[in-house]
Structure 1
Amino acid sequence: MEKLESKTSVLVVDDDDIALEMIEHYLTQEGFMVFTALDGREALALLEKHEIHIVITDWEMPVINGLELCRQIRQRFTEHYIYCILLTSRGRHEEIVEGMASGADDFMVKPFNPPELLARINAGIRLVGLETRDLVIFAMARLAESRDTETGEHLERVRQYSRCLARAMANMPQFADVIDGEFIRLIYQTSPLHDIGKVGIPDGVLLKPGKLTADEFEVMKKHTILGADTLDAALRKFPRARFLRMARDIAAAHHEKWDGSGYPYGLSGTDIPLSARIVAVADVYDALTTRRIYKDAYSTDYAETVILESSGKHFDPDIVKAFEACKQDFVQYVHQYSDAIEEPVDFVTGE
């Protein structure tokens, strides 16, 4: 996806050439970077290619209408929040409710008033600006990660793996009412905080090049509690913040195991928060396929074998099924976000 400059980017979607040109001209004069599309299919292609902040879309369009476009935006584009304004001649209350339920954030009835449109766009910019929160999340995670010089792009890979798994699970009937676009967006945002508690682990343990002693491992395990305590303190200040709740669950429970043999609490099965069960698979896969201070990188084939053989023991079997559905994406992320340290070795052959 192409990153844009500091200008706010707006995508205008309308099959009426005159309306499209008029809105584009007005918004360009107001200093926005404007993209245009004549239907929803063309709009989705632009969203795949560019980082769009605001979408203004007509309701009635051929191929993919405005309602379906809003739905697909919520389902498919989770890296950052896209503010959607439905622009239409419809104005009945039930139609407004239908439009908002599709994922639209705001609603304007044609013919549009330019100053009103600008005011609504600026309101959207303020909302999108809340994503500063996401930058803070990642900065906090980097603080913990900076303690360990061997992990490189670990955070980026784990968030990509976690989102990939969540997307695959969203297609499973048993998760249809649990994993939606918001869940996927939140796990992408908060999974980098899984090891935030490592800031409280002494260097002698965290950076030890060899195997930890039993006592040292007990110290290392405390990073889950330290991370949970840190995020619990934030939750007490902002109890309604769903992202903090998910981050806390992940930090506390991503080392729990499906069979109850994990830590820190020995939780098992579905008593382990779903977000933590997902990140557990992502974290282990990344630990296997990348070089760490205490080990070389193993091959993706070996990592796949470990994940599959750990189904029902370390990992939730449903999440392992999701892994099987997107394992090629995992391999792609290994190379895309590579630390470029050395070639991986096969654990069995040593080659």
Structure 2
Amino acid sequence: MKVLVVDDDAVSAEMLRGTLQYFGYDVHCEHDGLAGFNQIRTGEFSIVISDWDMPGLRGDQLCRMVRERSWSGYIFFILLTSHGDMTHLVEGLRAGADDFLVKPFHPEELRVRLRTGERVLALESRDVLLFTLAKLTESRDNETGLHLERMREYGRILAEELSTWDEFKNEVDGDFVQMMYLTLPLHDIGKVGIPDAVLLKPGKLTPEEFEIMKRHSAIGGDTLAAAVDVNPNAKYLQMARDIAYFHHEKWDGSGYPFGLKGNDIPLCGRIAALADVYDALTSKRVYKDRFSNDKAKEIILEGSGKHFDPRIVEAFLANEDRFLEVSRSLDAALAPPPMETAPV
């Protein structure tokens, strides 16, 4: 990651350069605010560390100019100052600074603040990536309606319920719930690798065609696993990978692609399995009519301990009304507006 240091004090700038390079950053230094702004305009820097008192532009003025423009990505701005009073803190925040570092800085404090910046930038990249991949999935999916929206809502409901149970308290927290919501739309991303003749067939698949369709779980999982290899610390990619791989596994081991059984199936995959089936049952498809909620519940109950984790089924039963509300509200969003009749 490239860091821009803007500081008119050559000694301070070189100390920052050396420390940042030791931490593994690519560093460029400028010595006045205007030159710093011209470097920011190149689009090469995601993190800027700027002194407060400089020729050309003060640090707070530079920060304000950055915030007033539109950029392709977020710029994390740290103000470096020898002023420790509240007035400068307020002015810096008002200008749009993300963080402050008081001279003389401590290297470990600088490292911590840079890690904060990396997390902020990673969150922005995560959301853009997940949105783009979800839209790719949607563009190749022949299922009509708001399937992806319903899936993510059902998954969030189930995860929120489990987060209140003692047996899941060490696994399901607010971060898990949010990641479920963000990554569930990628469950069928592997369908991009299924031939059109199978994926877009307007009717029920033959056994041979179904075997081809089943490959989407492995295709999607393998694709996201490759992304995990490049970004091994990205937990959201790990969850997206597991959901893509395992949302068609079954509690009794009869699912695919690996035939995993029981708790060997990651929890996010077990949640996705029920959410996916419920939505498939209660949605109209080219090969079937829409089932009622009662019929869908009956099928899910029959699958408890076979297709579904019994505890996930319990979570569904505890939130049946919320599932119905999601289904109704999103169906209403799809309904055409009422036609206006001309006055007689």
TM-score in terms of structure 2 length: 0.64
Letter in 2 for 1:115: E
2:281 is the alignment partner of 1:288: yes
Q: Which of residues 330, 333, 342 is equivalent to 2:326? A: 333
CA contact (8 A) 1:208 1:294 kept: no
Structure 2 partner of 1:146: 139
1:311 aligns with 2:275: no
CA drift at 1:125: 9.0
Question: Partner amino acid for 1:289?
Answer: T
Q: Matched residues in 1 for 2:279 and 2:197: separation?
A: 23
**Do 2:179 and 2:236's aligned partners in 1 also have CA atoms closer than 8 Å?**
yes
Displacement of 1:310: 1.1
Q: Deviations over 1:155-199 (max 9, x none)?
A: 111000001000001111110111011111111111110000000
Mean CA deviation greater in 267-276 or 140-149: 140-149
Deviation of the 1:274 alpha carbon: 0.5
Mapped partners of 1:179, 1:171: distance in 2: 9
Does residue 246 (structure 1) correspond to residue 239 (structure 2)? The answer is yes
Gaps of 5+ in 1: 1-29, 32-107, 343-351
Tell me, yes or no, if structure 1 residue 323 matches structure 2 residue 316: yes
**Aligned counterpart, 2:91:** 115
Which string of whole-angstrom CA distances, capped at 9 and with x for unpartnered residues, describes residues 31-60 of structure 1? 9xxxxxxxxxxxxxxxxxxxxxxxxxxxxx
How many aligned residue pairs are there?
237
Is the aligned partner of 1:203 residue 2:196? Answer: yes
Q: How many angstroms apart in 1 are the aligned matches of 2:304 and 2:86?
A: 55
Give the 5 Å matches for 1:190-229: 190-229=183-222
Check 1:157–1:278 CA distance in 2 against 1; reply closer, same or farther (3 A cut). Answer: same
CA distance 1:326–1:112, change in 2 (3 Å) = farther
Q: 1:197 to 1:240 in 2, by over 3 A?
A: same
Structure 1 position 170 matched with structure 2 position 163: yes
1:210 shift after superposition: 2.4
CA distance in 2, matches of 1:171, 1:112: 43
Q: 1:121 to 1:288 in 2, by over 3 A?
A: farther
What is residue 262 of structure 1 aligned with on the other side?
Answer: 255
Give the aligned partner of residue 39 of structure 1.
Answer: none
Q: What one-letter code is carried by the residue in structure 1 that aligns with 2:295? A: Y
For residue 98 of structure 1, what is the aligned residue in structure 2? Answer: none
1:157 and 2:133 matched:
no
Q: CA distance change for structure 1 residues 178 and 111 in 2, over 3 Å: closer, same or farther? A: farther
Q: Which secondary structure state, in structure 1, belongs to the residue aligned with residue 319 of structure 2?
A: helix
Q: Distance in 2 between matches of 1:110 and 1:314?
A: 60
Q: CA RMSD in A?
A: 2.6
TM-aligned CA distance change 1:196 to 1:208, over 3 Å: same
Deviates more, 1:246-255 or 1:285-294: 285-294
Structure 2's unaligned 5+ residue stretches are 1-63, 66-83, 100-115, 337-344
Cα distance in 1 for residues equivalent to 2:291 and 2:152: 20
* Counterpart in the other structure of 1:231: 224
Does the 8 Å CA contact 1:168/1:322 hold for their aligned counterparts?
Answer: yes
Is the CA contact (8 Å cut-off) linking 1:256 and 1:265 kept in structure 2?
Answer: yes
TM-score between the two structures when normalised by the length of structure 1: 0.62
Matched residue type, 2:229 = R
Cα distance in structure 2, aligned partners of 1:248 and 1:272: 13
Does the CA-based 8 Å contact 1:141-1:195 persist in structure 2?
A: no
Bigger drift between 204-213 and 193-202 goes to 204-213
3-state SS of the aligned residue for 2:296?
A: helix
What whole-Å deviation, never above 9, does each CA across 1:74-104 have from its counterpart, x for those lacking one?
A: xxxxxxxxxxxxxxxxxxxxxxxxxxxxxxx
Q: Which moved more, 1:248-257 or 1:146-155?
A: 146-155
Larger radius of gyration: 2
- C-alpha deviation, 1:143, in angstroms: 1.2
SS in 1 for 2:214: helix
2:145–2:334: 8 Å Cα contact kept in structure 1?
no
Give the Cα–Cα distance (whole angstroms) in 2 for the partners of residues 112 and 280 of structure 1. Answer: 53
Return the alpha-carbon distance in structure 2 between the equivalents of residues 229 and 324 of structure 1.
33
Q: Deviations over 1:287-325 (max 9, x none)?
A: 111112222211112111111221111000111111011
Question: Partners of 1:141 and 1:152 in 2: how far apart?
Answer: 15
Give the whole-Å Cα distance in 2 for the aligned partners of 1:173 and 1:188: 21
Alignment of 1:84-123 (within 5 A): 113-118=89-94, 122-123=98-99
Distance 1:154 1:122 in 2: 38
- Decide whether the 8 Å contact of 2:190 with 2:218 is kept in 1: yes
- Alignment partners' CA distance in 2, 1:149 and 1:222: 16
Contact 2:142 2:199 in 1 (8 A): no
1:127 CA displacement? 5.2
Identity percentage of aligned residues: 53
